[in-house]
Structure 1
Amino acid sequence: MQSTIKDLIDKSAMSKLQYATIFVCFLMNILDGMDVLVISYCAPAIAKSWQVGPEALGIVFSSGLAGMTIGALFLAPFADHMGRKKMILLSALLMGASIMLTAYTTSVPQLILLRFLSGIGIGSMLASTAALTAEFTPNRTKDFWVSFVISGYPVGAVLSGMVAASVVPASGWQTMFQWAGLASFITIPLILFFLSESIDFYLNKQPKLALEKANGILGKMGLPQLHKLPENTSKAAGIPVKRLLDNDFKLSTIQLWVALFLAFGCLYFLTSWIPKLAETTGLSMSLAIYAGTVFNVGAFFGIIVQGYFSSKFGLKKTISIFLILTAVLMVVFKWFIGSDWLLFLFALLGFTLQGGFVGLYAVAARMYPTEFRTTGLGWAIGMGRLGGVIGPAVGGVLIGMGFLMASTFMIFAVPVFFAGVVTFYIASKDIS
């Protein structure tokens, strides 16, 4: 029965309900990007206002990243039990409340706690929106739509920077957090009224009134109604986290985790050090301020292009090429030092690296079945973020030891190269 529904979705034109679901998920990831980066844009003003040093701010940044890891690993999997829509709503409430309350903090410990809580919401939001998008889109364009939804993240990062540039100097950093929190709360009615629960979830978990609710969604999509629910086998499925390492998924799961760990490590090295890189490698002052922006603009277009080519030529091949091209760009970095062309290189790095590693989310969305798809996505993201913790720290150690930026870039080209190789050999039969 489920295969019949999937076949109908694959063969039918996209409905307004499916586009509405994609739009809301895209919007939620824009908020994700805004909420992650808002602390970075407000950090100088907070440091000046509270007279705190970089060490304290470093803990604040790390607490947000730790929260995102916890959210992806331990909160997101509950979406496989309670539903994707409910988890997206819970994540939005958690993000909105913690971001809004941040505006009223008066100490670093309060700031650390609230950044940790907002990180939990951000981590679970990303996995839940990717899973829901995968379950509402046709097989032929699934990779594109999952990548498109996640491309909201760099869009939010850019928008957050543009808003902060005018709001923080004029009204203070507290106002920026108030606006960011309000933006999250405004989306809650959109989730309630325009976001639909996954049909796959209703058919697998079979909560109360599952048949009526599934038929309601099918009717809005112009698809035939169901007369009964399929046999409920979810209780025999085992604990979802353990299922990730079952014989059918063990090798491909480990390969996916390794690829994301390596790619995230390189990504967070770059995002953490781009401002410093722009300052120390000869980029003119007038252009240095745009380094982070062009990196995220490049990321948006890279994610969209990757999604398109993945739908045409296959996920593994496309992602591998993107990640290996990133390694090549990092090797040739030294020839751009001292030139304003460095800004163009940052844009290319955003294009290839973020385009590539976001494609790995689409791999996870395809690789795992509905019963534990959000768990699979959450744990993949969580394992990747562990690399995100290590990458900037290793970069700092290397730079502190006296390594030149060019040498450091060449060192980080190695893990992202291997991320591309590992991706190409992911063993799952469900990934082209």
Structure 2
Amino acid sequence: MSIAPAVRGRAATATAGRPPARRRRPLTVLLLCWLVVLFDGMDVNVYGAVMPRMLADPGLGLDPATAGTVGSWTTFGMLIGALAAGNLTDWTGRRPVIVGGTLLFSAGSVLCAAAPGAESFGLGRFVTGLGLGGVMPVCLSMVMEFAPGARAALTAGVLMTSYHVGGMLATGLGLTLAAGSGWRAVFWAGAVPALVAVPLLLWLLPESPAVLLAKGRTDRARQLADLYGLRLRHATAAPQAVGVRARWHAALALFRGPGRRATPLLWAASFCGLLLVYGVSTWLPQLMRAAGYGPTSSVAFLLVINAGGIVGMLIAGTVATRFGVARVSAVWFLLTAVGALLLSLRLPLPVTYVIVAVTGIWLFSAQVMVYATVPALYPAGQVSAGLGWATGVGRLGAVMGPALGGAVVAHGAQRWAFVIFAAAGLTGALAIHLAGRTPCPSDS
């Protein structure tokens, strides 16, 4: 269960009769989560960055079809990790889930580096996915909780930029470290999060006051709220139900309440969005190389599209605030479809770089804005469940994207991959547009 933030804004004073503790800055939480999500983005994108070299390694025994399957194992692991993260958070808290997820995806990278064949490499990527799946949503919940209320959206956008910085870092490793030391060295570098981030998390990252409050540890929650200058809401309601059964009932309620018409449309848009994100991240270098571009340029396209993603994250919120989130998300999906179709053409290298960059602007933030439409589609009590299930169903698209790309490449029809991506963009645009036109909860 996603626990709604129980803290917002700044506390005016310390509790009466108690000496004020030395304040800590909520910025620390953002910086730590930013670092973790950076490594998340690096691990997701590193497979695509080194895939051309892996396919050329006869000792590994990886072919395009198997490579697509392995990419789906990664995202399937992320799906399981994301679903498990809710129960683990209920039982242990957000801090242990972030630390444990970081250790797990680092261990998966080590398994990949040492893998003697394609099957054991796939197992390593599955383990990596298990760790990656829970880290992103829990980090997002943490920074939203510790951010001042007026800056919560901005803070979330800043956090999401780290994913694309991680993607650029993965590309840099693919262009430099892999070129000199082989593809295995890049996966050995994936152990760095366990060595660098985990000690910092154990030292500096606090537990979520919202989780502590839900678990009945009110004194500790109040102490942390005072320490970080947060306002703690009093727990007057009965404890919320947790566990698998509670989540299943919450999902059924999404089809019965005021947002019932929007639910399948929102899920379809999320499915298409994550199919695009993970399909493109996994296969872009190999697709561009098959289109006739050189090996260095093909991998560099992954860096460029992630650079575009950073720009998109910074501007999408501002544009959506003015014109409407669902409307802008639909336009972004359409522009992604146009970009994918243009990439199916053999154009001059500088033109292709520009197309890849602007496609990155639309592609990644289109998916984020799907999530941003949730508060407008459901009543307040269903927003958490609506967001959680849209994310979970979207993970199925993340599983399918790499597999589809692998199947198309295996049959030597690389241009059709871009057509499939364009079709996903068009479908996502239609779905989120129609979702945005459903009656608001207050109208029902």
TM over 0.5: yes
Contact 2:284 2:298 in 1 (8 A): no
- 1:33-432 aligned within 5 A: 33-47=41-55, 48=57, 50-54=59-63, 55-203=65-213, 205-207=214-216, 210-223=217-230, 229-235=235-241, 239-246=246-253, 247-248=256-257, 250-279=260-289, 287-310=297-320, 314-330=324-340, 337-338=347-348, 340-363=350-373, 377-394=387-404, 400=411, 411-425=423-437, 429=441
Q: Which runs of 5+ in 1 are unaligned?
A: none
Separation in 2, partners of 1:331, 1:397: 19
Query: What is the root-mean-square deviation in Å for CA atoms of aligned residues?
Result: 3.8
Establish whether residue 17 from structure 1 lines up as the match of residue 29 from structure 2.
no
Q: Secondary structure at the match of 1:196?
A: coil
Say if 1:358 and 1:105 are closer, same or farther in 2 by CA, change over 3 A.
same
Say if 1:244 and 1:191 are closer, same or farther in 2 by CA, change over 3 A.
farther
Q: Tell me which moved more, 22-31 or 323-332.
A: 323-332
Q: Secondary structure at the match of 1:141?
A: helix
Query: Residue 302 of structure 1: CA displacement?
Result: 0.6
Contact 2:225 2:232 in 1 (8 A): yes
Query: Residue 299 of structure 1: CA displacement?
Result: 0.8
Q: What whole-Å deviation, never above 9, does each CA across 1:100-121 have from its counterpart, x for those lacking one?
A: 2333332333222221111011
Q: Which runs of 5+ in 2 are unaligned?
A: 14-22
Separation in 1, partners of 2:53, 2:316: 37
Say if 1:123 and 1:76 are closer, same or farther in 2 by CA, change over 3 A.
farther
Q: Which residue of 1 aligns with 2:40?
A: 32
Separation in 1, partners of 2:195, 2:378: 31
Could you tell me the TM-score, scaled by structure 2's length?
0.80
Query: Residue 287 of structure 1: CA displacement?
Result: 4.2
Contact 1:85 1:195 in 2 (8 A): yes
Separation in 2, partners of 1:3, 1:120: 24
Q: Which amino acid is 2:32 matched to?
A: V
Q: Secondary structure at the match of 1:197?
A: coil
Q: Secondary structure at the match of 1:179?
A: helix
Q: Which amino acid is 2:430 matched to?
A: F
Q: Sequence identity, in percent?
A: 24
Say if 1:346 and 1:255 are closer, same or farther in 2 by CA, change over 3 A.
same
Separation in 2, partners of 1:244, 1:425: 21
Contact 1:267 1:388 in 2 (8 A): yes
Separation in 2, partners of 1:3, 1:175: 41
Separation in 1, partners of 2:92, 2:381: 11
Say if 1:59 and 1:381 are closer, same or farther in 2 by CA, change over 3 A.
same
Q: Tell me which moved more, 326-335 or 258-267.
A: 326-335
Separation in 1, partners of 2:317, 2:181: 39
Q: Which amino acid is 1:40 matched to?
A: G
Separation in 2, partners of 1:224, 1:407: 50
Contact 2:68 2:403 in 1 (8 A): no
Give the count of matched residue pairs: 423
Q: Tell me which moved more, 116-125 or 97-106.
A: 97-106
Separation in 1, partners of 2:7, 2:38: 28
